[in-house]
Structure 1
Amino acid sequence: MSYIDGYVLPLPIENIAAYRKMARKAGKIWMEHGALAYHECIADDVKPGKWTSFPQAVKLKEGETVVFSWIVYKSRRDRDRINKLVMSDPRLKMDPSTMPFDGKRMFWGGFKELVTY
């Protein structure tokens, strides 16, 4: 089964265009290095929950939305190899102060598939 990296982050609504531009560039680079799929999604039906939710998880502020993203790899081994290449790719070097989102409120992790159709 495939291996998945998942990401959730808050994004100021005014930065959607800048984020889309950055995500398109990043997606192409991940795919060039061997990812099987790259997805970036913007919240459409994401409400605060009673105990937890996407907005609560990223400490969503007024004027922000939630981005949910995932990258698919053949295996954990491929993911580790590909991410090493991507992180050292000079095309993705960015100044953290110019990022279109608050990276301190982003969370991510790697997942083994449990069920796939």
Structure 2
Amino acid sequence: MSYVDGFVAAVPTANKEKYIQHARDAAAVFKDHGVLKMVECWGDDVPDGKVTSFPIAVQCQPDETVVFSWLVWPSREVRNQAMPKIMEDPRLKPDVNPMPFDGKRLIYGGFSVLIDE
């Protein structure tokens, strides 16, 4: 069964094009290490909640946009073997492909797939 890594971040709206380039460059690295699919989504209907929401979770500021993305792996095992190599890949080093957002407010996690229709 496939495995999914999910991410939510607040990206300065002015950095949209930088984010797209950052994500494209990262996608090449992830795919080289086994990712089957990478999806990046730019928020356009992401309301603030009263108790919780995507914007609250990432402390989204008025000049930022919520990004929601995920990676589909063949399995958790493939992901676990690939991740150390990805983190060491020189194409993802900050001086080569800097994150155009505050990585401290990035939310991420790994998920076992329950339904895939």
Q: Please confirm whether the aligned pair reaches a TM-score higher than 0.5, indicating the same fold.
A: yes
Q: Identity rate of aligned residues, in percent?
A: 50
Aligned length: 115
- Matched letter for residue 94 of structure 2: M
Q: Tell me the distance in 2 between the aligned counterparts of 1:86 and 1:99.
A: 15
SS of structure 2 residue aligned to 1:28: helix
Question: Offset at 1:99?
Answer: 2.8
Give the aligned CA root-mean-square deviation in angstroms: 1.0
Once the two structures are superposed, what CA deviation does each residue of 1:43-100 show, in whole Å capped at 9, x if it has no partner? 01100112111111111101100011100101110011121221111111005xx531
Q: Tell me the distance in 1 between the aligned counterparts of 2:82 and 2:36.
A: 11
Q: Tell me the distance in 2 between the aligned counterparts of 1:68 and 1:17.
A: 16
Contact 2:7–2:69 (8 Å) recurs in 1:
yes
Runs of 4+ in 1 over 2 A off after TM superposition: none
Could you state the TM-score of these two structures normalised by the residue count of structure 2? 0.94
Q: Tell me the distance in 2 between the aligned counterparts of 1:38 and 1:113.
A: 15
1:70 corresponds to: 70
**Contiguous gaps of at least 5 residues in structure 2:** none
- Matched letter for residue 116 of structure 2: T
**Contiguous gaps of at least 5 residues in structure 1:** none
Counterparts of 1:27-106 in structure 2 under 5 Å? 27-95=27-95, 99-106=99-106
